């Protein structure tokens, strides 16, 4: 068997694995960002402001998921993987939160440049308070994401998915809950 034939199945497995990773991160982020968008819409409706931002929430979830995958590919946060799980998850949350903030700043500058502003004007017009507010929300969303990802890393993918997504038969040594004696 030559190397050319071996590359196809391996590449296909890698592409499927990366897509599943991306989809999982995207769905996690989309759930929280759409919940936040719903809250914003309900709150603004009280002030008679019509606001529909699911598209913005979904686009942000796509972008942030891709930023996370790029950061993981670049081995961001690996420094603390030997530390307790909580520290590793918080460290990665902080690093990736800063990475997302950096991408949002670049995105804001590029949007203004595309609309004809100079770099100096573009960077001056960025609303830092809004970006920091979004970053705090993203940080809070990333905490459980990285806690689960670190838990999965330590347990192994098969054991993690088995623990969360498969039924387990109860053994006699496990205590029963409720009245099913």
* 82 shares its domain with 126: yes
Largest CA distance in the chain: 74
Q: CA 151 to CA 145: how far, in whole Å? A: 10
* 97 shares its domain with 139: yes
Containing domain of residue 80, as a range?
75-164
* pLDDT for the residue numbered 124: 74
* 94 shares its domain with 155: yes
Within 46-127, residue ranges assigned H as helices are 54-73, 85-114, 119-125
Q: CA 146 to CA 87: how far, in whole Å? A: 11
* Residues 61-81 pLDDT 10s: 999 999 999 999 998 888 888
* 158 shares its domain with 102: yes
The reply to whether 172 falls in a domain is no
* pLDDT for the residue numbered 173: 57
Residues 6 or more apart whose Cβ sits within 8 Å of residue 83: 91
Highest mean pLDDT out of 81-85, 145-149, 157-161, 177-181: 145-149
Q: Which two tokens stand for residue 114?
A: 């595309």
Return the H-helix or E-strand segment holding 6: helix 3-45
* 34 shares its domain with 85: no
Residue with tokens 């949007």: 111
Q: Are 66 and 74 in contact (CB under 8 A)?
A: no
| Number of domains present in the structure of the chain | 2
* 44 shares its domain with 119: no
């Amino acid at each position: 068997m030559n190397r050319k034939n071996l590359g196809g199945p391996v590449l296909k497995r890698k592409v499927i694995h990366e897509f599943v990773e991306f989809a999982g991160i995207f769905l996690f982020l989309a759930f929280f960002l759409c919940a936040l968008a719903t809250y914003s819409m309900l709150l603004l409706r009280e002030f008679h402001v019509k606001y529909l931002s699911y598209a913005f929430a979904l686009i942000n979830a796509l972008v942030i998921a891709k930023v996370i995958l790029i950061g993981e590919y670049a081995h961001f946060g690996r420094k603390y993987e030997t530390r307790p799980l909580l520290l590793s998850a918080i460290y990665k949350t902080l690093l990736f939160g800063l990475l997302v903030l950096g991408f949002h700043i670049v995105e804001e500058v590029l949007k203004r440049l595309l609309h004809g502003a100079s770099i100096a004007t573009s960077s001056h017009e960025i609303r830092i308070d809004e970006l920091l507010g979004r970053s705090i929300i993203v940080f809070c969303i990333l905490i459980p994401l990285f806690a689960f990802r670190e838990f999965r890393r330590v347990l192994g993918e098969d054991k993690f998915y088995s623990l969360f997504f498969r039924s387990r038969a109860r053994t006699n040594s496990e205590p029963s809950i409720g009245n099913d004696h």
